[in-house]
Structure 1
Amino acid sequence: MNLLKLSRVDAGFSLESAAKKLRISAGYLSQIENKQRQVSSERANEISHLYKKNVNDLFVPIRYAIREVDENMN
């Protein structure tokens, strides 16, 4: 069982009840749990809050901004 699913179960939620609280489908939450979908920082915060966990304990930030190039550098 992965950490996200374990956290949901530990918080006392079924897949369906957690999805309902998050206002998403159970299928979508299942995809998140099975690493088939990435989530926004807002959604990660909502899930973490519902499960009473720190967002950094459940999710790893993987998005990067593109670095600006200094045109004076050759």
Structure 2
Amino acid sequence: MFVIPFMTAAEFARLSKMGVKQIKARMDIGEIPEIANLREGGVRYVDCITLADRLLRGEVVFSDLSKEGKDHD
């Protein structure tokens, strides 16, 4: 198994079939973990290892962003 430690929010959006705004909104509220120390020039990175761990443990539950008042695609 090949593990990718992190990827840009845009790449994660493409692979997950979600919009970039939706991914970033979920990062803002902590549903999708972010690698903060790599945030340079506005590029945001999804922490894929932590996300995979949360998914395997059943800890990830995506909220309805329209109820949160967040932008979504």
Asked if these proteins are the same fold (TM beyond 0.5), I'd say no
Q: Which has the higher contact order (CA 8 A, sep 6+)?
A: 2
Compute the TM-score of the two structures, normalised by the length of structure 2: 0.39
Compute the TM-score of the two structures, normalised by the length of structure 1: 0.38
Q: Which has the higher helix share?
A: 1
Q: Which has the larger radius of gyration?
A: 1
